[in-house]
Amino acid sequence: MQATPPVEEQIWEGGPSQWLNFKTYLMCWVGFLVILAVGVMAWGPLDIQQPSLKPFALGLFAALVLILGIVAVKKYLDISYTRYVVTTERIRVTRGILSKRTDDTELYRVDDTFLERPMLQRLVALGNVVLVTSDRSTPRMVLQAVPKAGPLRDQIRRCVEACRDRKRTRVIDFEQ
C-alpha cells in the first residue's frame, strides 16, 4: 500500500527589499548633484568664451543624467522582479524583467542554513537567509534582504527536517 504524497503548501512568499540598492541610489543622487553643480558653474563661462559649446555641454550633461537614471531604474527593476517562494517541499527563486529564470531547490537537499545581518539591513530589520545545498546547479542559495529573516530561517529548517523524514533521506559527512 502506497502512502499518498503530501500536499505542497506555500509557507512564505516575498522578495528582496529595495534597501539592497541604497548605495546605488545614493551614488546616483550624488552623481546627479555633481553634474548639476558642474553644469551650473560651467554655464556662465560658456556664455562669454564660446557660445557654440553650449549645445554640446547641454547634451553631455543630459546624457550623463540619463545614464544615472538608467542605472537606478535597472537596479530598481532587478529587485522588483525577483520573487522568492518557500513551500513545504522546495524553494523557488524567479528573476528577470523581460526574460525570466526560475531556480528550484528541493528542501531535502539543504545541508545547512545560516543568517547574515549586514549593518545597513539590521538598521531596517532585514536579513539574508543563506542555504548551503547539495544541489549541483545551486550549491548556495541566498534569500537577500528579507523581513523577519530569523523566523523564516527557523521555519525553513523545520520544513527541511520534515521533508527529509518524509523522504527518508539523511546527510552523511565523510571526514578525510
Q: What is the pLDDT of residue 157?
A: 96
C-alpha cell at 149: 529573516
Q: What is the pLDDT of residue 55?
A: 77
Q: What is the pLDDT of residue 105?
A: 94
**Architecture of the domain whose range is 10-16+82-167:** Roll (2.30)
Q: What is the pLDDT of residue 158?
A: 95
Q: What is the pLDDT of residue 45?
A: 62
C-alpha distances out from residue 106 to 49, 85, 132, Å = 68, 12, 12
Q: Tell me the pLDDT tens digit for each residue of 92-141.
A: 999 999 999 999 999 999 999 999 999 999 999 999 999 999 988 889 99
Q: What is the pLDDT of residue 169?
A: 82
Give domain limits for the chain: 10-16+82-167, 19-79
Q: Tell me the pLDDT tens digit for each residue of 142-164.
A: 999 999 999 999 999 999 999 99
Residue with the bigger pLDDT between 108 and 175: it is 108
Q: Tell me the pLDDT tens digit for each residue of 41-95.
A: 776 665 556 666 677 777 888 899 999 999 999 999 999 999 999 999 999 999 9
